[in-house]
Amino acid sequence: MDNFRDPLNDRFEFRQSGNFYMRTKHAHTIYFFVIVTAVLISFLFPTLLMWLTGVTPGSDRFGYFLGYYGLTSGFVVLVVWAAALIVINIIRHGQKCSYTADENGLKLYCGWRHAEYRYEDVKFVTYIPITEFGKMAGYTVKILTTDGNTDEYLYLSPYKGKLITQESTPFYLLQHPPMAMEEAKRKETGIVF
């Protein structure tokens, strides 16, 4: 029993990874332009067809226009609004991001954006709730580092309208590094390696 050796050499190892959703900063502007475009196409397409065919509301061909071109116009308007709703839904649910945390830091991957934070380089993390139609949708997370940089993420809740806590976000690890948590647990239980 004298030559028993701990397989981890008394080291603490931590690994955690997962996915989360993040909204773009300009989501409301995109909402506005998608809806305005859909409204404009809905009103302008039938008018454009009437102008191209030379049909006016008082002409003999107006009934024919309402039958054939009216159906075509209605179909185009329906397709435009369906596309607008799909785009709005995609924007509302955000972009899928992933994170990997270990005993040294947290790495975030969001499409083209990549960020890496060492626990000791983070001064503090603030959470500002995001509401959507009066319900909790997530947090605006601001990370201040020791070199004075501030990064902002729009974290979206995986469960719309349900109360989410700061502990459920991957950014919580930056405030409470796993090594410090393990040290506190060891001191509390009296286990010293």
pLDDT over 60 at 63, yes or no: yes
State the average pLDDT for the chain: 77
Task: Identify the H or E element spanning 62.
Answer: helix 62-64
pLDDT band at residue 12 using 50, 70 and 90 as cut-offs: low
What pLDDT is stored for residue 3 in this prediction?
Answer: 36
Domain contains 109: yes
Domain contains 7: no
pLDDT band at residue 5 using 50, 70 and 90 as cut-offs: very low
How far, CA to CA in Å, does 172 sit from each of 143, 146, 153? 11, 17, 13
Residues 152 and 127 in one domain: yes
Domain contains 64: yes
Residues 19 and 111 in one domain: yes
Domain contains 182: yes
Give burial (CB, 10 Å; 0-12/13-18/19+) of 75.
exposed
Domain contains 9: no
| Better-scored residue on pLDDT, 36 or 56 | 36
Residues above pLDDT 90, as percent of the chain: 8
Beta partners for 110?
113
Domain contains 10: no
Give the chain's domain count: 2
Taking the C-alpha atoms of residue 40 and residue 76, their distance in angstroms, rounded to an integer, is 12
Give burial (CB, 10 Å; 0-12/13-18/19+) of 90.
exposed
Greatest Cα pair distance in the chain: 106
Domain contains 114: yes
| Angle subtended by helix axes 27-53 and 70-93, to nearest 10 | 170
Residues 88 and 173 in one domain: no
pLDDT band at residue 162 using 50, 70 and 90 as cut-offs: low
Domain contains 6: no
Residues 56 and 19 in one domain: no
Which of 3-12, 13-22, 63-72, 183-192 is modeled with the greatest confidence?
Answer: 13-22
Under 8 Å between Cβ of 24 and 31: no
Residue 81: give the domain boundaries: 27-92
Residues 19 and 35 in one domain: no
pLDDT in tens, 127-140: 998 887 778 888 89
| Better-scored residue on pLDDT, 148 or 54 | 148
| Final residue before a domain boundary, out of 57, 76, 92 | 92
What pLDDT is stored for residue 186 in this prediction?
Answer: 54
Q: What is the pTM of this model?
A: 0.63
Residues 118 and 181 in one domain: yes
**3-state secondary structure at position 15:** strand
Give burial (CB, 10 Å; 0-12/13-18/19+) of 156.
buried
The CATH number of whichever domain residue 129 belongs to comes to: 2.30.29
